[in-house]
Amino acid sequence: MNKIVSKPEAGTAQKEAKGAAPRKHHYVPQFYLRGFAGDKGQLLVTDRPSEKVFRTNPGNVAAQRDFNTIEAEGADPHVVEKALAEFEGKVAPALERIKAVKSLANAEDRNLLMNLICGLAIRNPRQRATINDFAGEIMQIMLEMSVATKERWDGQVAQMKQDGAWDENTTISYEEMQKFVKEKNIRSD
């Protein structure tokens, strides 16, 4: 694990403000991390960037502030974190059942385990950065294509106006937009 967050998680001895949504989001579920904890409930952690080794509780590793928070108009910013909490509430007992019987014969438990494995593989900071970088590259290519010629740009603007997606108060010229795109001022995150 290479990300340490010291702010306590909701549900621990030190709770966040009553009624406040949890801000510390684990990309590796705590129930899963606890399976690797020693007798005192602590994990032996290596912080890869600093190469420091230390012991800590599962609540202090594999988490980032607002990692699962979304910003979409009209959407609950915590919908992903809530859905993950619901999923983890199902997968934790399934994992315990699998360990108890030492079998993957139960199809529902096996399916939950496979979903957990997939989630661990794709829902982490490194994978998110890779996806964001790729999305940024695609966005840059699309923007470069849209300003490749003045005629193409004028066509894009006309289409946006027709679709109601263009603010009539916008005064950016083709040349300004072309310069903006060439300077790669677009961010995907």
Along the 189 residues of the chain, how does pLDDT read in single tens digits?
A: 333 233 333 333 344 566 788 899 999 999 999 999 999 999 999 998 899 999 999 999 999 999 999 999 999 999 999 999 999 999 999 999 999 999 999 999 999 999 999 999 999 999 999 999 999 999 999 999 999 999 999 999 999 999 999 998 988 999 999 999 988 866 555
Residue 75 lies in a domain: yes
Both 72 and 102 in one domain: the answer is yes
Residue 50's domain comprises 24-123
Predicted confidence at residue 22, as pLDDT, reads 83
Cα distance from N-terminal residue to C-terminal residue, the chain: 23
Q: Within this chain, do residues 29 and 115 fall inside the same structural domain, yes or no?
A: yes
Q: What does R_g of the chain's alpha carbons equal in angstroms?
A: 23
What's the pLDDT score for residue 31?
95
pLDDT at 184: 81
pLDDT of residue 95: 97
- The letter for the amino acid at 86 is E
Number of domains in the chain: 2
pLDDT at position 187, please? 59
Pick the closest to residue 4 from 45, 34, 44 (CA basis).
45
Chosen domain end from 123, 148, 166? 123
| pLDDT of 20 | 80
pLDDT at 56 (0 to 100): 97
Question: What does the pLDDT read at residue 17?
Answer: 61
pTM: 0.73
pLDDT value at residue 4: 29
Q: What is the DSSP string of the chain?
A: ---B--SPPTTSSSPPSTTPPP-EEESS-HHHHHTT--TTS-EEEEETTTTEEEEE-GGGBSEEETTT----TTS-TTHHHHHHHHHHHHHHHHHHHHHHHT----HHHHHHHHHHHHHHHHSSHHHHHHHHHHHHHHHHHHHHHHTSSHHHHHHHHHHHHHTT-S-TT----HHHHHHHHHTT-----
Domain boundary (90, 123, 156) is at 123
Instruction: Return all residues near 11 (Cβ < 8 A) that are at least 6 apart.
Output: 22
